[in-house]
Structure 1
């Protein structure tokens, strides 16, 4: 029985990464596995005290299903998983979680609401660093440095992120464009070639337009990169490299600030690593582009 489209994670998740990884893969799990993941995310401390029979009863799933769920995460079984989860629960900082999970109340003033938003930003960046693969990020940077052309694809708020990244990468000399209209996305993608890099941005990973554009770019021979929160989602199926961003957010934020900060954080990290490779050249090109813009004002 397959639990999900997410492949087994090996080696096993380290304490400190378990809950973030479960949150990122949750939408790619089957309904049965989602119940297990949702229960663990909702009350991880209780799960560390449960026997497998108790978790089976609470989630209305079979014990064998729970064992398969744990093995999907790279563990030998439930006891193995529970031990690392207990370490994570014991060492995590719960102060920000309390702020994060709290909705805005009538009595909240600007300082309190500001603190809740700050907690969201801090948490989503920490979660993103937790979920990002250093090897994948390095691979993307190498590909971008060698690319003849870079295309960024995204719709809605992800399209705004794509435009922001375009401006930043152009400043340091990359031949880059961003497409946020589906027709332009498809045309750009179809005209790409080997040596080009296409980056598809979709927080959910199921944006039909962005998935199709990335698929077309891959078929044209370009190296494809997916930036998403959803492990095992449609967009990851047509990506050579997958970058996972965080999404820890409460009712306060909806899909706005947490999603936006997570995406911008990853792209700014890529930008910083590109500059780090050759800071003198990057500074020279950035000065040239800045002078060009300023001379027209």
Structure 2
């Protein structure tokens, strides 16, 4: 008998078609990587329509092979078949920021309760994003602990966040400087243990890309912090940390962009002070 099973992953249902008897079906068990993919697709409905298997693997810090295995586990021939069948359902789950916020605005809710509910939701989304890149975060933190000199490159609207991050990170005893372009005098005197953070929302800023190319050619440790992944910057740098960006297909992305960036720098700062004597 042909039936439809629904797999629930944190509120998201993905249909699975398979030929089996309903009396012999058993619950599906997912690996941590597969759960990460399902959770990401629930949070980013357009991702499955807008990205290839390789791109989606990068976005979820998994692999194309894992995507194909997940597709087969859900009863499809692979990722391509899963994409064709799931895209319409996933797209329908995408809410814009305004309609998302309306879910909180019940008549009996006080302004204080609304603010706290929204704060909790934002913190949860920031935490999920950080968990999705846990390995890169750990490696970045290890690299930061091993250096005494940190340079932060940023341009335009990113500069204020770079200055705030520099002031905070400098409280850990590190020497932290901010730049909006590569300065020859500084580059010529850079030390081997220097670490550079390049901040770019789009991951496509020419000055940031030039800085990344030059520093990587010098075998410097470079951490890319970007709101766009994959992007030219994220593909260049071995260490990439993401934050919510307004163009990200998530209902709260436009609202929490700045908060997400501060959350990431605060997490790095907190990780550093945990190792201080």
Tell me the TM-score normalized by structure 2. Answer: 0.61
Give distance in 1, aligned partners of 2:270 and 2:202: 25
1:254 CA displacement: 6.7
1:243 CA displacement: 1.5
1:196 CA displacement: 0.8
Contact 1:201 1:228 in 2 (8 A): yes
Contact 1:245 1:263 in 2 (8 A): yes
- State the SS of the aligned residue for 1:102: helix
Shift of the 206–176 alpha-carbon distance from structure 1 to 2, 3 Å rule, reads same
1:116 CA displacement: 7.5
Gaps of 5+ in 1: 1-10, 38-69, 84-96, 281-297
Q: CA RMSD in A?
A: 4.2
Contact 2:141 2:268 in 1 (8 A): yes
1:33 CA displacement: 3.9
Give distance in 2, aligned partners of 1:192 and 1:238: 21
Cα deviation code 1:181-218 (max 9, x no counterpart): 3365x765565342110101123222222222222222
- State the SS of the aligned residue for 2:33: coil
Match of 1:14 in 2: 34
Match of 1:118 in 2: 119
Match of 2:99 in 1: 102
Gaps of 5+ in 2: 1-30, 57-62, 77-93
Shift of the 204–117 alpha-carbon distance from structure 1 to 2, 3 Å rule, reads farther
Q: Greater RCO between the two (CA within 8 Å, min separation 6)?
A: 1
Give distance in 2, aligned partners of 1:221 and 1:30: 37
Shift of the 269–113 alpha-carbon distance from structure 1 to 2, 3 Å rule, reads same
Give distance in 1, aligned partners of 2:41 and 2:209: 22
Contact 2:43 2:250 in 1 (8 A): no
Match of 2:153 in 1: 153
- State the SS of the aligned residue for 1:224: strand
Shift of the 174–73 alpha-carbon distance from structure 1 to 2, 3 Å rule, reads same
Give distance in 2, aligned partners of 1:249 and 1:198: 29
Match of 2:172 in 1: 172
- State the SS of the aligned residue for 2:228: coil
- Aligned length in residues: 218
